Amino acid sequence: MISIEYYSEEIPGLPLASLVSSLPLLISEESYALGNITLVFCTDDELLELNKEHLSHDYYTDIITFDFTEGKALGGDLFISVERVKDNANTLQVTFEEELHRVCYHGVLHLLGYNDKSATEISIMRDKENYYLTKLFHVKH
């Protein structure tokens, strides 16, 4: 089950319907079952505090993923900075909705075991993100 929670106040205008409907398709295609995934939308400062506290990183990021996968039942918490996603979308010259999908797909890919530490891993991660954006997002928009 995918649930939507808000770390702080509710953020209006989030394109959640298409996001929530596409994540199970991504998970299924990767041969996992949907466990409990929580999307938590927050501010830059809130995510920075989590980054410092849990990862000892003192910088802004767009997503932090906490993995609670058990066997093939994919589960975890995705903490997403809406401010970072907006800035990324402007920088990349894509819509906010597309960038939000990319960031959430990125988090789910981490839950699936994909990493982004080396150049090779980053390349694989980007290819997967682009594949799922093409298959699950661009087809519907």
Encode pLDDT of 59-115 as tens digits. 789 999 999 999 999 999 999 999 999 999 999 999 999 999 999 999 999 999 999
Angle, to 10 degrees, between the axis of helix 44-55 and the axis of helix 82-92? 110
Give me the residue spans of the domains in the chain.
Answer: 2-138
At 50, phi and psi to the nearest 5? -65, -40
Which CATH code is given to the segment(s) 2-138? 3.40.390.30
Supply the pTM of this predicted model: 0.91
> Phi then psi for 85, rounded to 5 degrees?
-60, -45
Rounded CA separation 20/27 (Å):
12
Q: Could you give the count of Cα atoms lying within 13 Å of 51 in the half-sphere of its Cβ? A: 17
Contact by Cβ (8 Å): 101, 139: no
